[in-house]
Amino acid sequence: MHEEPSFFAEPRNWVVLAFILFFVLFGKKLWGALAGMLDARAEKVKAELEEAQALRREADAMLKDAEKQRTEAVADAKALIEGARAEAARITAAAAAEAEASAKRREKMAIDRIAAAEKAAVDEVRMAAADIATTAARQVLTEELTPEADAALIDQAITQLPGALAARHAA
């Protein structure tokens, strides 16, 4: 018959025994090292998650700040545009008023020039009429006036002189 080998004669038993002995002797150290590595990895992942959350909060804050700045910039731009429109309207009104005032000044200057030209023309006509009258009077006087009539006219003019001067001073 076949005799059964002993427990220690079987190589499988030695492997099982070595495996158990290995885990008994080194299992705690291996478990500690594995647990330490896993804990370190978990801490690293936790730190990365916290950093990611902090970055997310910072990004959200930056987004809100950027949106606020954009809103303020849009409001400032609208205010600048409205100010520019108001300034343009004011400048347009001022330019129109200045143009109207300039046109009135030019019209007044033209009217003054016309009046001056009329006065000069009237004065010229008067001077010409006075010259013609003087020439005609000289001619009439030299041709038709006698020395007695001449003396009578001079006497008459001398007597009328104080009245004419008084009338002139009164006016």
Q: Phi, psi at residue 3, to the nearest 5°?
A: -90, 140
Summarised one tens digit per residue, pLDDT across range 101-156 is: 999 999 999 999 999 998 888 888 778 777 777 877 777 767 676 777 777 777 88
pLDDT computed for residue 171 by the predictor: 62
pLDDT computed for residue 138 by the predictor: 77
**pLDDT at 5 exceeding the cut of 80:** no
Lowest pLDDT segment from 27-31, 41-45, 137-141:
137-141
* Residue 29, amino acid: K
Which two structure tokens, joined as six digits, stand for 58?
Answer: 């910072």
* Residue 94, amino acid: A
Verdict on whether the full-model pTM lies above 0.85: no
* Backbone Cα Rg of the chain: 65
Spatial distance between the Cα atoms of 136 and 144, rounded to a whole number of angstroms: 12
Summarised one tens digit per residue, pLDDT across range 70-91 is: 999 999 999 999 999 999 999 9
**pLDDT at 1 exceeding the cut of 60:** no
pLDDT computed for residue 134 by the predictor: 80
